[in-house]
């Protein structure tokens, strides 16, 4: 069984919309952004030829803390990475934050551990 090693990096993506509070850790918008960030990082590390050969799942989602003043969440989860070529899945622990921009119209997801 081959293992995939991914160095520690931090990535973030902003999503625009009309929100005053950060979405929850397990919210579909949040987990979709986590998967997009993971895919972008995988493509950056392995090259554009690797684009689309992995699928991602965000499992065992836990809210570690919520900032009462800002509504930002600190989250932990298991990121499942499956190679579509052979069906092999690896999981790695990640943490991520979800926070609202000062304008209240965007939120940011920062992923750690990719």
pLDDT tier at 37, thresholds 50, 70, 90: very high
- DSSP state letters, 36-72: HHHHHHHHHHH-GGGTTSEEEEEEEEEEEEE-TTT--
Q: What is the pTM of this model?
A: 0.79
Instruction: Return the higher-pLDDT residue of 24 and 8.
Output: 24
CA distance 29 to 31: 6
**At residue 84, does pLDDT exceed 80?**
yes
CA distance 30 to 46: 24
């Amino acid at each position: 069984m081959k293992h995939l090693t991914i160095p520690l990096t931090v990535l973030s993506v902003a999503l625009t919309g009309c929100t005053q509070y950060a979405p929850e850790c397990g919210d579909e918008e949040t987990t979709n952004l986590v998967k997009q960030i993971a895919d972008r990082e995988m493509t950056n590390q392995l090259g554009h030829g690797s684009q689309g050969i992995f699928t991602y799942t965000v499992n065992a989602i836990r809210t570690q803390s919520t900032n009462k003043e800002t509504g930002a969440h600190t989250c932990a989860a298991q990121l499942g990475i499956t190679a579509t070529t052979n069906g092999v899945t690896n999981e790695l622990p990640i943490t991520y934050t979800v926070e609202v921009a000062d304008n209240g119209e965007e939120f940011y997801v920062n992923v750690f551990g990719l």
